[in-house]
Structure 1
């Protein structure tokens, strides 16, 4: 007798590929019903990708996006109970399919990061005044060893195109203007302000310092990253401005 797990795996395989072998216990009527269910499944998952990556769809065009969506769903069948997770790794799919147009995968990454930020757990950002009070008595050693906890939805990656302009250009169904490439690579960070996902571009050294501290590095370690990228006489001010900006943006949850 076919085990339940085997039947479930056959069911999943038959949804993804029409040539998949279904159980011999299925009647012709059941197999006909499966064809209807397969169509509903594919329509729902493709629509979920359209909803999450609307700007990416407008950038490449409806037909091209649909082909990319089908390719993604075949290569990465959904494994979660929620359609919210269908778009995981779609930016990697776009990177493989649009190798000559890297702005496509960068925009897809941004849309996915914004999507994840929207559904991330709620936390209270540390206020600037609270941080100032907590660090008022810090000596140099304490500043060097300072560690921070950041808002959970915060993420970053290096980009080569002007995602701010591209985000604005793809907000409507109108054809996007030629995509502007940055004179030098920058990094994009995504987080949530209240209930609204937001992003901004920043220098790679700041993103590197931010990611280092997100991984548990100290503020002193982050300052070393800044010092390696900035003139020595500007590094201290740049590190201070960087920390102040993180607090003002609401990226920091607590000390330690």
Structure 2
């Protein structure tokens, strides 16, 4: 506030000075020195008037404070209180940030621990699924659980969602096109659904999830299939509220893109 006030006062004081130099540059070209002297006199007179007026205005509160020094103490006390409050507010914000970091780190560690403990049952489940769907999807039949395990980086926890990674070797080394990958995704997803239903009463229960909109999701979802040449990489996610929300948002964005494309095509056809 004080800085802004001082800046305003400076601009007011310099106003006639700046005005003079603007006029000076204009009349100097015509060598009209008499006009320049007149403008200088006006500028100096305006400057003195402004300085005197400001001095008078500033003298009023100064005179009052000299007569009532207790207000100086009150003002200083208010300044100290607000300065202390500001420092406390900054300290509280820093403390809250540190606490939030600690909580987030603890949550991440808990998620990592859950992901580690959940790997074995998910791996067993996917081994059964891939053995069931291998022939249909033109994949090699895995003989051992180790055949579908990634050598490193078996899972990731990203934004509260656990992604498990598995492999299954192909019968050919030819790269699959997008349509073939889409068909394979449907085949594996169907196999996952069948296996979940068949294990509904087993000890390894992977329960389905119902979101707030009433949409049901499998307890295990196939997130993606990637063709890595000699094998496919599968990303599998145990269903959670966070992942259900992610799927819903992805679906909404896909619908919006589809609608936008449809509107563009309609508009283009109308123009033609």
Same fold flag (TM > 0.5): no
- TM tier, smaller: under 0.3
- Normalising by the residue count of structure 1, what TM-score does the alignment of the two structures yield? 0.25
In our comparison, the structure showing a higher alpha carbon Rg is 2
